[in-house]
Each structure stands twice: as structure tokens, then as C-alpha cells.
Structure 1
Amino acid sequence: MDIDSKIAVVTGASRGLGAALSSSLVAKGATVYGLSRNRANLADRRAKLGENFVPVSLDITDQTAVHSWVSETFSNLRSPDILINNAGTGHFGKIDELSLEQWHGMLNTNLNGLFYVTSQIVPFMKRKKDTCHIVNLGSILGKTGRAEGAAYCLTKYGVQGFSEALFRELRSEKIKVSCVNPGSIATHFFRDSGIEPHGNMIQPKNLADLIVQILETPDNLLIDEITIRPLIPKPLG
């Protein structure tokens, strides 16, 4: 895919990997609709990236709001070529200490939000003549487990299964589906989950640039799944 002049939707776009993805796509000439609940961070992204970044204040766990935004924004004449389902949340702790709010938050964002956005955008992609691409951000914890991560692992195993089934469903429609499974990324995600990020984690810009390379692969070449790890996962020093 030649990304220049393409339309991309990126969820969780206001910071971390989503912000890096938005920057990389805009640098390639794409128009990026960046979705997030954080209006202030979206405004900062707009100020830095210019008019090719369109800030969208939206809670992807609100199915009605997602449906309304997609139907009001896109048409058969202007619709997304790229969807990057990046938004995610995680909490780590003993299963008998995990709150219902944390449990439902992960399920609603990591799985329900993924479905709400994808199911609304796919019909537009099906009607396009050119190849489209959906990238779902999974996790290495969607391929293995870790103590005190049962709930988060559940959602990321779900992303893995969703992605594999979806690529088989949509490949005949010229819609690629790729599941990207990174290890630890140096973003707010880990700090929000009680884990301090460090310099040996995957850097957001490096991962964003790799995902752009996946998008740029020839139309009849599909990378359906890729796992990325930091070479040395321990903190510096």
C-alpha cells in the first residue's frame, strides 16, 4: 500500500504508541482520524501534526457513539483505507483482588471497543476497490501468560483469536488483517498499570515505524501475525 493520501483511523491516538502511529502516518501523507477520550492530548497532537490529523473525542466502549461517528464521518466517496485498533487498558494483580471496575474496563476497551469500531468500518472497506488494512494491537501476553495477569491475558488472547478469524473472513474482500504482538513498550500503559517504564523497553516510534512498514507491503502479501520483543528486557544498568 502506498500510504500517501490514504485515510487512517487510529484508536487510542492521544499518547503513547497511538500518538507515535499518528505521527508516522501523517509523515507518510495520510489523513489520520485520531480517536481518544482525552481532548487535551488530542488538541496537542493536532497542534504538532497539523490539519492531516483530525482529533476525534470518542469513547470506543460506547457503541451508539461509535456508530454515530462512523456514519456521520464516512461515506462511499470518503472512507478509511487503514484501521489501527490500538486502544487498550490493562491492570495487573491477584485475581481475587481485581476490582469489577478493572475487569469490566479491560473487557470493554480491549474487546468490546475493538468490535464496535471494526464492525462499523469494515462495510466501508468492503466497498473500496483498493486493498485495505486492519491492524490489531495484541500483546505477547496474548500468546503466553504471566502471574497476576489473568484478566489482561484473557483480553489479548481474545484479540489474537479475533484477528485470525477476521483475516480468514476478509481476505477475499481485499482487506488485510494483521495482529501485532509486542512485548513491553515504554509508554504510559505500564506506568498506569503500576510498572515503571525503562529504556530497554520497545520504543513507541520504533514500533510505529515497523507497523507502517507492514502497511506498505505489496497488496498480495499479508503479514497476519508478528511478535516483537525487546532484545534485553531488563532495565538499563
Structure 2
Amino acid sequence: MDLSKNKIAVVTGASKGLGAAIAITLAMKGVHVYGIGRKKDSLKEVAIQAGNNFEPITLDINDETAIHDWYNNTFTNVNTPDILINNAGIGFFSKVDETPTSNWLEMVNTNLNGVFYVSSTLIPDMKKKKTSCHIINIGSILGKVGRTESTGYCATKFGIQGFSEALFMELRGFNIKVTCINPGSIETDFFKTSGQHSHHNMLQPFDIANTIIHLLETPDNMLINEMTIRPLNPKPPNS
């Protein structure tokens, strides 16, 4: 895909962390980015860094009706997204018998249902396009291997892995690529909910964002459908 050819991208979870890095990097490459997030002030900060190619969209991806309304009011048949980055996600980490049902449901709603709502809204118009499109789902290393005190998060990220594989089979005939990226620990605020602290030996958000650029720029008939990215030495410095 040639990112300089007036491409349009939708990035969820764009208000901070990896999503913000992806949105900024795409915008700097000349892609028109619609960055979806729930925090209006944080999206404004991203917009300052991303420039005129970024449009902040305050929206909850758990609200299917709101997603449909926004999409239908924003895009026309000749002006629809070429790229979807399903990045929004949340994690709560505790023993299964100590996990509140509300935490479990929030992970399922954001990490699985939200991905379905956004994808199923954009895909019909992607199928109509004559040029290649690309959907990238941000999974996790915990969508490949289990870990104690991570049952809910693992369940949803294993689900994203299966969703991505099945979606690839459905959409390849329409020249729509589907890639699932499974990163290890990233230096963002994600770990605050678990009481852990991020550090510089973790993966860096903009390194992953630049990797996504490389994936998007592969030839139209070439697909990397799955990628696992790990920090080489994940332990905290001086540990």
C-alpha cells in the first residue's frame, strides 16, 4: 500500500500509549487519521503532535449505535477508510476467583465486542473498494501463551487471535489484508491497573508504530498475517 496516496485510517484507543503513537506516525506519513478514544483532552494532545492529518473522535467503542452513527455521518461511498487499527484494549489482572464480574465484562466488551463493532461497521465499504485495504488487530503475547492472574485478559486476546485468522480467510478474496500483532510488554500506562510499573526495557510504542508502517507498505499481494514482538531483555534495568 502506498501511504502517500490519500489513504484514510481509523485507529481505536488513540488517546494515549500505543494507539497515540500509531496515530501520530500514520499522520506524519501523510495518512488522514481518525483517532477514536474516550478521553477528549488526551485526544487533543495527540492532535497537537499529529498535526492537520489527525481528527480526534471522542467515542466509546462499546457503544455499537454510536459507532454506526459516527461512521454513517462521516464517510461517503467514495471516501471510506483504507486502514483499520483495532488497538483499544484494557486489562485487569487477578486470580480468577478474585476477579470482579465487572472487570471481566469490561475486558470482553472492549477487547472483543468493540473490535467486532468497529470492524463489522467498516468492512462492507472496504469490500467495495478497488484498492487494497488492511485491518491490523493489536493482540498480545498473552493471546499466544497463558499466564497466571491473567485469565480474562488471556481469554480476550486468544479470542482476537482466532478472530483475526478467521477474518483473514473471509476477506482475502476482497483484497483486504488482516494482520494480528502480538506484542509483549510495552512502556505505557497500561500496567497501572495491575500495580506494575513500566520501564525502558519494555517495547517502545513508536518502534511498534513504525513496524506497523512497514506492514502497511508491503506489496498488495504480500501479507504478514501474524507477528509476535517481544522485548529482547524485558526485565527492569538493574534488576
Given the two structures, how large is their TM-score scaled by the length of structure 2?
0.98
SS at match of 1:177: strand
Aligned to 1:111: 112
For structure 2, list consecutive stretches of 5 or more residues without a partner in the other structure: none
Deviation at 1:27, TM superposition (A): 1.1
Amino acid at match of 1:39: K
Amino acid at match of 1:107: V
Deviation at 1:47, TM superposition (A): 2.0
How big is the alpha-carbon RMSD for the aligned residues of Structure 1 and Structure 2?
A: 0.7
Report if aligned partners of 1:75, 1:124 keep a CA contact under 8 Å in 2. no
> Whole-Å Cα distance in 2 between the matches of residues 50 and 201 of structure 1?
27
Amino acid at match of 1:93: S
Aligned to 1:26: 27
Greater CA deviation, 124-133 or 47-56?
A: 47-56
Report if aligned partners of 2:25, 2:50 keep a CA contact under 8 Å in 1. no
Deviation at 1:183, TM superposition (A): 0.4
> Whole-Å Cα distance in 1 between the matches of residues 204 and 194 of structure 2?
18
> Whole-Å Cα distance in 2 between the matches of residues 193 and 3 of structure 1?
37
Deviation at 1:178, TM superposition (A): 0.1
Deviation at 1:90, TM superposition (A): 0.2
> Whole-Å Cα distance in 2 between the matches of residues 190 and 212 of structure 1?
25
Report if aligned partners of 2:140, 2:182 keep a CA contact under 8 Å in 1. yes
1:21-170 aligned at under 5 Å gives the runs 21-170=22-171
Identity %: 58
Amino acid at match of 1:112: N
Aligned to 2:2: 2
Amino acid at match of 1:3: L
Report if aligned partners of 2:183, 2:229 keep a CA contact under 8 Å in 1. yes
Deviation at 1:191, TM superposition (A): 2.1
> Whole-Å Cα distance in 2 between the matches of residues 79 and 116 of structure 1?
17
> Whole-Å Cα distance in 2 between the matches of residues 100 and 63 of structure 1?
21
Aligned to 1:216: 217
Aligned to 1:192: 193
Deviation at 1:194, TM superposition (A): 1.9
> Whole-Å Cα distance in 2 between the matches of residues 190 and 8 of structure 1?
27
Deviation at 1:192, TM superposition (A): 3.0
Deviation at 1:229, TM superposition (A): 0.3
Report if aligned partners of 1:136, 1:178 keep a CA contact under 8 Å in 2. yes
> Whole-Å Cα distance in 2 between the matches of residues 174 and 70 of structure 1?
22
For structure 1, list consecutive stretches of 5 or more residues without a partner in the other structure: none
> Whole-Å Cα distance in 1 between the matches of residues 195 and 214 of structure 2?
32
> Whole-Å Cα distance in 2 between the matches of residues 115 and 141 of structure 1?
19
Aligned to 1:235: 236
Greater CA deviation, 79-88 or 190-199?
A: 190-199
Deviation at 1:75, TM superposition (A): 1.6
Offset from partner CA, 1:36-59 (integer Å, 9 cap, x none): 000000111122222210000000
Deviation at 1:104, TM superposition (A): 0.7
Deviation at 1:193, TM superposition (A): 2.8
> Whole-Å Cα distance in 2 between the matches of residues 64 and 216 of structure 1?
33
> Whole-Å Cα distance in 1 between the matches of residues 48 and 184 of structure 2?
30
> Whole-Å Cα distance in 1 between the matches of residues 217 and 195 of structure 2?
35
> Whole-Å Cα distance in 2 between the matches of residues 59 and 96 of structure 1?
28
Deviation at 1:80, TM superposition (A): 0.2
Amino acid at match of 1:206: D
Deviation at 1:198, TM superposition (A): 0.7
Amino acid at match of 1:220: N
